[in-house]
């Protein structure tokens, strides 16, 4: 299982540089711009597997009973997909959703990044609409 620890912005930068999504590193300036939103209006965690940083993930609370989910995964997890899926389900559905009282979660997934869409389907998200270069997925709780 992935062990989730306190989020540090430096962890996000490290994971972006070795992300499964090759475009993640180009978004570091955007993440820096929204660092306060990430840390003050939501929850974020850094994920470790066997002592190695493998992901960062969190939720930004947008409206009453709604949140936008975000996550970045290292290439170190490619061979450990079942571990990733079990860990995300455990953290997301057993802890975060239970504690927060959310009714709806949304997430943007870049078009052409099929790994992301596959993961979202496994987590029970449905494609809701298209926004420029992204698909908007949602899950009602």
Q: Per-residue confidence of the chain (141 residues) as pLDDT tens digits?
A: 888 899 999 999 999 999 988 888 898 998 889 888 888 888 888 999 999 999 998 888 887 788 888 888 899 887 888 887 887 777 666 656 665 777 888 888 989 888 889 989 988 899 999 988 899 999 887
Q: What is the pTM of this model?
A: 0.80
Strand runs (DSSP E) across the chain, as ranges? 3-6, 42-49, 52-63, 66-73, 104-110, 126-131, 134-140
- What dotted CATH number matches 3-140? 3.40.630.30
Distances (CA, A) of 36 to 30, 40, 118: 12, 6, 30
Q: How far apart are CA 87 and CA 84, in angstroms?
A: 5
What confidence tens digit (pLDDT) does each residue in 13-43 have?
999 999 988 888 898 998 889 888 888 888 8
Distances (CA, A) of 119 to 6, 71, 81, 92: 24, 11, 9, 13
Domain ranges of the chain: 3-140
């Amino acid at each position: 299982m992935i062990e989730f620890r306190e989020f540090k912005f430096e962890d996000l930068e490290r994971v972006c540089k070795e992300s499964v999504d090759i475009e993640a590193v180009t978004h570091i300036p955007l993440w820096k711009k929204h660092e306060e939103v990430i840390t003050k209006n939501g929850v974020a965690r850094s994920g470790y597997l066997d002592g190695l940083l493998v992901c960062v993930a969190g939720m930004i609370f947008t409206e009453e009973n709604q949140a936008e989910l975000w996550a970045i995964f290292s290439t170190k997890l490619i061979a450990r997909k079942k571990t990733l899926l079990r860990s995300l389900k455990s953290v997301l559905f057993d802890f975060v959703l239970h504690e927060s009282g959310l009714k709806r979660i949304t997430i943007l997934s870049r078009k052409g990044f099929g790994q992301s869409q596959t993961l979202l389907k496994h987590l029970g998200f449905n494609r809701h609409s298209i926004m420029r270069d992204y698909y908007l997925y949602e899950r009602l709780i």
